[in-house]
Chains A and B, each alone.
Chain A
Amino acid sequence: QVQLQQSGPGLVQPSQTLSLTCGISGDSVFSNTAAWNWIRQSPSRGLEWLGRTYYRSRWYNDYALSVKSRIMINPDTSKNQFSLQLNSVTPEDSAVYYCARETATTYNFDYWGQGTLVTVSS
């Protein structure tokens, strides 16, 4: 059974960097049949896909245009996990952040982390 365990702070100051980590058990970050995504949810924007990382002989990343200039998603192969960094945050970045596994065959999100409520405030 795949499990995703998120960790990271729930409060970030404006203009700082939001950093979250998603630990993977029951699968590998190197999987050829999965991609590792970050998605956020807020009352005003609903569910919003942010980006993903995946391995197909080498590492690839895709990012949503809305955050492309501020985001990095990186694998940590030594710990079988992946991370999200979102720079220059504003209160509009306040949301529940989820990591999720995407299946490479049907392109849906079949396993989700528990969610982390991140508030951007001083």
Chain B
Amino acid sequence: EVQLVESGGGLVQPGGSLRLSCAASGFTFSSYSMNWVRQAPGKGLEWVSFISSSSNTIYYADSVKGRFTISRDNAKNSLFLQVNSLRAEDTAVYYCARDTGTTGVDYWGQGTLVTVSS
């Protein structure tokens, strides 16, 4: 069974940083590209970042470019998102999601909540 479990969220002050993690199991993690998608409270889904299976290709949404860094450790079946210079508008549940190419994503984690507030 495919499982994605996020962790690392929490309350952080504006300008602060966090490192989000996603532990994958039930599939060959190293064969799949992965994504981070976020959802602000009561709002819709926003794609945040993409990383290819070998980390050779990385993309970011314009809203996070220069502040967020995606990475992965295939030996540990783990995906990461380093979020820096956080703003109130970054408050959201952050989901990791398995990439299926042009058909989008298939499996999602349960999400981890990041709250940016003073």
Q: Is B one of A's binding partners?
A: no
